[in-house]
Structure 1
Amino acid sequence: MRIDFGEHAETIDRAVEAIVETERAGFDGALVAETRFDPFLLLTAAAGRTSRVELMTSVAIAFARNPMTVAMQANDLHELCGGRFVLGLGTQVEAHITRRFGMPWADPASRLREFVLAVRAIWRSWETGERLDFAGEHYTHNLMTPMFAPGPNPYGNPKIYLAAVGPTMTEVAGEVAEGLVTSPATTERYLREVTMPALERGRARAGATMAGFGISCALVSAVGSSPAELDAAITSARQRVAFFGSTATYRPVFRLHGWADLHETLYELSVLGRWDEMTALIDDEVLHTFAVVGTPDEVADQLTTRYGDIADRVGLTSTDPIDPARWTHTLASLRAGQAL
């Protein structure tokens, strides 16, 4: 199991520095979500300052772009970092696509499926020189002259991971991607009872097995080596779980655990901007269901027990600045606990 880290930084300079410190701390991968900053730009800035850590968009918003722009950005970044880039794509929700990005929204599962196929067709035309001729319901790409074709990437094509929560999108990931990125609001139970069966259906549709297919579990984490560190991390984790709980996308996860009423209350409070009240509603049972919580040794045990037989990589995220010295110790405990 590979262990990745993503810091939700406040400034662009800090975001780049966090990627560098992620490598210094000994993590396997640096995760950059598309929140305040462009993830491709951050990873490009960090590519020359790192040499080992994998660089992953987790995730970039596909529908804010088009297949050609994503194919170009991913191809360039993969070559720039020496083959260490992983393209993680997600859809976001309708309101953000139509109101924040000003882009169209329609049938997201079939559209993302087609998006991935179009990116692959573009890469194939660059790699082989064959005529670009992709025609779909949502995207058409049939013009590629030599001046605009970079040729084959010396490191091959990046792997594509898709973010998914619901069964339909998860099936798409299984069918057309090399890996799945789960949401931090995906619990172990939801992963086993809903996600994995859907993923297997998607793989079967592609005539493939689960062998070699990557599963990256993004997790809410509260890790501390001292009581004060752990208390601060738990407060941050409760806030994140409350935020996820207020979002319609994660209603099925809360419903599976019998917390449909909690989801509705969190949503209503979020509309009113009453964030502190939302955090207070995340009791210990809810927190420990969604997050890994404890000392480094305790979290190592939780990762092994809950995800060791499913995930080939886990992503720990935090809103606090990464401390390489502390995380080096934490990683040592995690890896010792998992016999990595």
Structure 2
Amino acid sequence: MARLKVDGAIFKGGDNLYSGDLADIAGRAALMEEMGFDGLFTLDTTVDPFMALLLAAEHSRRCELITGVAIAFARSPMTLALQAWNLQRYSRGRMILGLGSQVQAHIEKRFSMPWGPPAAKMREAILAIRAIWDCWGRGVPLDFRGIYYRHSLMTPTFNPGPNDLPDPKIYLGALGPKMVEVAGEVADGLYGHPFTTIAFMRDVQLPSLEIGLARSGRTLADFDMPAMIMTITGEDDRAIAAADRAVRKLIAFYGSTPAYYGVLEHHGWHDLGPRLNRMSKEGRWDEMTGLITGEIVDAFAVRGAPSEIAGRIAARCAGLVDRVTLYTPYALSDAVLPEIVAGLKALPGKSVA
């Protein structure tokens, strides 16, 4: 059985999730590789994720490079295909294209892009990307004709030509059952959203994933299972308390999103999502955080001293996932990371088949 892989954010956590500057990446990528991380991920927030990974590729040699996630509906499949193809070639096979849909308001009002049924549109986007890669890598004529995307023109000027490497893996960020099914059918891995509990994963996501895998003639043994896990830790009790406050704030933010209500409802917290949503529209962010009880925090996050984190994660999802993304949206000291990473890398990976 393969060991567990461990991924971390290129940018350090803080008040605004993970924010940073392109100038930070050279030093961070090299340091995180030295700490033992297997993969480096970057969000699609204030720094373009593909630009960030290009710099990370230049200043690392071993770590995989993951968009965690890039917003698919804000981009064309052709654009995504080319960015991932270029990074796969430059990094010598270390690129993982993590994709997500975002929610309708952001796609239409922030990106000014068309919305559609998210699961069906995402399925088509991934198939379009693969068709483009088949054209470049294997000479298959480009003739993808879907409902949302059509790609039927590829002239030599715009064809980057084959890579002497496998195609990049595609991980799909998914939460609800329909999108999870799509991941099982057309992606290489399910990029577990941080707003996921182990009960929701077992009871809702895994059955949906198996439906999608069956459509593609695969099983969990053929599929990657990375998980983003909110982690509350620090070098002392004061740092752990600050981390706890940051994670409660993040849970409140995620919980206010209607598309995520299903996770809360699965635990019987039926009124929490609508309450958080109303309060968010009124700007009552501090009060929202006050609704997140210790029981809710423990459902979504692991907490403890650095020496305890590996054991807490193992107790939560041992055998279910094959890589863990440490999701620490607060100022965490680099001094504690090597111990956490070493503990996690000693754990076995996925055992379900």
Normalised TM-score (structure 2): 0.92
Using the TM superposition, name which of 130-139 and 323-332 deviates more. Answer: 323-332
Counting only pairs closer than 5 Å after superposition, residues 273-292 of structure 1 correspond to structure 2 as 273-292=283-302
Encode CA deviations 1:38-97: one digit per residue, 9 max, x unaligned.
Answer: 111111122101111111001000010111111000000111111111000010000000
1:124 alignment partner in structure 2: 134
What residue number does 1:207 align with?
217
Q: Is 1:9 matched up with 2:18?
A: yes
| Post-superposition offset of 1:321 | 4.8
| Structure-2 residue corresponding to 1:37 | 47
The secondary structure found in structure 2 opposite 1:153 is coil
Matching residue's letter, 2:8? F
Alpha-carbon contact 1:31-1:55 (below 8 Å) kept: yes
Further displaced range: 202-211 or 181-190 = 202-211
Summarize the Cα distance change of 1:281–1:306 in structure 2 as closer, same or farther, 3 Å threshold. Answer: same
Tell me, which stretches of 5 or more residues in structure 2 are unaligned? none
For residue 138 of structure 1, what is the aligned residue in structure 2?
Answer: 148
Cα drift, residue 3 of structure 1: 1.1
Contact kept, 8 Å, 2:39 with 2:64, in 1: the verdict is yes
Q: In the aligned structure 2, how far is the partner of 1:224 from the partner of 1:322?
A: 6
Q: Percent identity?
A: 45
Q: Is 1:108 the equivalent of 2:111?
A: no
Cα RMSD after superposing both structures: 1.6
Total equivalences in the alignment = 339
Verify: 1:24 aligned to 2:34, yes or no: yes
**1:84 aligns to 2:94 (yes or no):** yes
Q: Distance in 2 between matches of 1:222 and 1:297?
A: 12
Q: Match of 1:305?
A: 315
Deviates more, 1:185-194 or 1:213-222: 213-222
SS across alignment from 1:3: strand
Residue 236 of structure 2 corresponds to 226
Question: Mind listing any 5+ residue stretches in structure 1 that lack a counterpart?
Answer: none
Measured in 2, the distance between the counterparts of 1:20 and 1:99 equals: 37
Distance apart, 1:25 and its partner CA: 1.9
Greater displacement, 272-281 / 83-92:
272-281
Please, what TM-score do these two structures have when normalized by structure 1? 0.95
Residues 132-186 of structure 1: CA distance to partner in whole angstroms, max 9, x if unpaired? Answer: 1111111111111122111111222100010111111110000000000111111
Cα separation, 2, equivalents of 1:204 and 1:113 = 15
Return the offset for 1:18.
Answer: 3.7
Cα separation, partners in 2 of 1:302 and 1:68, compared to 1, 3 Å: same
1:316-335 to structure 2, matched below 5 A, reads: 316-321=326-331, 323-335=333-345
> Per the alignment, do residues 322 and 56 of structure 1 end up closer, same or farther by CA in structure 2, a change over 3 Å counting?
farther
**Cα shift readout 1:194-224 (whole Å, capped 9, x = no counterpart):** 0000000000111222212001111111112
Per-residue displacement from partner, 1:287-314 (whole Å, max 9, x unpaired)? 1110011112322122112111111111
User: Conserved in 2, the CA contact under 8 Å of 1:18 and 1:322?
Assistant: no
- CA-to-aligned-CA distance 1:75-127 (integer Å, 9 cap, x gap): 00111111111000010000000110001111111111111111111111111
Deviation at 1:339, TM superposition (A): 6.1
The answer to whether 1:95 aligns with 2:105 is yes
